[in-house]
Structure 1
Amino acid sequence: MAQIIAVHSFRGGTGKSNIIANIAATMTLQGQRVGIIDTDIQSPGIHIIFGLKEDKIQLTLNDYLWGRCNIKETAYDVTDTLIAEQENTSTVKGSLYLIPSSIKAAEISRVLREGYDVIRLNDGFQSLIRNLKLDYLLIDTHPGLNEETLVSIGISNVLLIILRPDSQDFQGTAVTIDVARKLKAAKIVLILNKVLPSLNFADLKQQVEKIYDVPVAGILPLSEDMVQLGSKGLFCLRYSQHTITQTIKGITEQIAGLVVSHW
């Protein structure tokens, strides 16, 4: 049975899309069929990490939500991106699909002005899983809490919350966890990102887990290599031995363990 992983942050700028992209790539290299859906319709961007250029995007999640097409037509096979990064097709065992949101100003304005049917969005999740025969569907949510986020949290098998060691992030994460518990979220896991390497990661993990009573799946350091890459590719494939890559692998293994234990 396919597993839905909602990946969320209360505020923007946490590195959520990069983390999603690298987790999805790791899953794909391990032989899984993975989908990523960019439901951050107001500020989409994960397509850039996969090199999916604007002129190559014909249909988007927006088109599906407004009844212009079926959801499968908005799915782009980006497995070739992994193959290009790896430079060796034999190491790419799975398949990876991306459902982008529109980056056209008029389309974004329409969302802000009119909204969309979140029930149709939920139907789209299920249709993608069936039609693409997915093992995992990762949902890139819009920061903060809105109706779409609540639906994503409510239907997910695992909720990953990304936060930085920042007071505003800490407060917002507390709100998110409280809401997720009220929605009876199956599993909640935290990922700390952009942490100064000089900090004691073990102590920080212990402190955060005590504050929220939620496990920390991994702590990712603030990295000059990540900043220099600037979302122009998949970090875990460019830097296969990097601490961040090894942590991403560990997080991916924990996700797999969580969904197995849930079912």
Structure 2
Amino acid sequence: MAQIISVHSFRGGTGKSNLIANIASTMTLQGQRVGIIDTDIQSPGIHVIFGFDENKMTYTLNDYLWGRCHIQDVAYDVTHSLIAEQKHPTTVKGSLYLVPSSIKAGEISRVLREGYDVVRLNDGFQELIRTLKLDYLLIDTHPGLNEETLLSIGISNILIIILRPDNQDFQGTAVTVDVARKLKVPKMLMVINKALPALDFADLQEQVEKIYNVPVAGILPLSEEMVQLASIGIFSLRYSGHPISQAIKGIAEQITSLVVSR
């Protein structure tokens, strides 16, 4: 059974898109068929990480939501980008598909002005899983809570909440966890990002798990290499031995060990 995984943060700038791209890439290298859908329609950008030129986007998620095309027309095979990213290229056993959102100002303005049919969005998720025979569909959500985000969370088998060790993130995350429990999400995992390397990670994990009663799947240290990469490329493929890459591999393993019914 395909697993729908929403990755969410209460505030922007937490590294959500980078986390999704790296988890999805890791799963694909392990032989899974994976889809990513960028539902952060107001501020899209995950396509940049895969080096996908927006001029090559014949269709975007916006086109599907407004009835201009089928959802499978918006799914671009980006598996080849994983081969290019590796220092020592190997055969990629799985497949990775990306459904980007439009970065055109007029399209974004229309979403802000008119919204879109969230039921059609949900139908698109299911059709994408069926037509591409996906094992996992990862949803890049819009930060905060709105109707579209609530839908994504509500239909998820697994919700990954990413936060920084920051008091504002801690408060907002508490709201997200409460909402997810009310929506009866089967499984929640926490990922802590941009943690100072000097921190005691075991103590930090214990504190966060105690606060939210949700397991921490991984802690990603603040890294100069990640900052220098500037969201152009898949970090875990370029720096396979880095602590961040090892943490991401561990997170992916925890996800693939879960088979959660909805």
TM-score, normalised with respect to structure 1 = 0.98
Aligned residues: CA RMSD: 1.1
- Partners of 2:106 and 2:93 lie apart in 1 by 38
1:185-200 counterparts in 2 under 5 A? Answer: 185-200=185-200
Task: Note the C-alpha offset of 1:88.
Answer: 5.7
Q: Which structure 2 residues correspond to residues 20-39 of structure 1 after superposition, within 5 A?
A: 20-39=20-39
Of Structure 1 and Structure 2, the greater helix share is in 1
**Secondary structure, aligned partner of 1:24:** helix
Cα offset for 1:89? 5.6
Map of 1:18 onto structure 2: 18
CA drift at 1:87: 5.9
**C-alpha displacement of 1:256:** 1.2
Which residue of structure 2 aligns with residue 46 of structure 1?
Answer: 46
> Counterpart of 2:208?
208
> 2:124 matched to which residue of 1?
124
Query: What SS does the aligned partner of 2:259 have?
Result: helix
Between the two proteins, the alignment pairs up a number of residues equal to 262
- CA 1:239–1:174 in structure 2 vs 1: closer, same or farther (change >3 Å)? same
Per-residue displacement from partner, 1:181-210 (whole Å, max 9, x unpaired)? 000011011000000000000000000000
Task: Report the CA distance between 1:83 and its aligned residue.
Answer: 1.2
Note the 1:146-185 alignment, pairs <5 A: 146-185=146-185
Q: Deviations over 1:59-111 (max 9, x none)?
A: 00000000000000000000010011126664311000000000000000000
Q: Partner of 1:100 in structure 2? A: 100
C-alpha distance in 2, partners of 1:91/1:134? 19
d(CA) in 2 for partners of 1:71 and 1:90?
30
CA contact (8 A) 2:87 2:238 kept: no
Question: 1:29-71 deviations in whole A, cap 9, x for unaligned?
Answer: 0000000000000000000000011111110000000000000
Check the 8 A contact 1:158/1:259 in 2, yes or no. no
Q: Which amino acid aligns with 2:81?
A: T
Q: Which runs of 5+ in 2 are unaligned?
A: none
Separation (CA, whole Å) in 1 of partners of 2:88 and 2:240: 14
Unmatched segments (≥5 aa) in structure 1: none
2: CA distance between counterparts of 1:88 and 1:226? 20
Match of 1:257 in 2: 257
Aligned-partner Cα distance in 1 for 2:92–2:228: 25
Identity of aligned residues (%): 78
What is residue 72 of structure 2 aligned with on the other side?
A: 72
Q: Deviations over 1:199-241 (max 9, x none)?
A: 0000000000000000000000000000000011000010011
Give the secondary-structure state (helix, strand or coil) at the position aligned to 2:41.
coil
State the distance in 1 between where 2:94 and 2:41 align.
27
Give the SS at the match of 2:64. helix
Match for 2:53: what amino acid? K
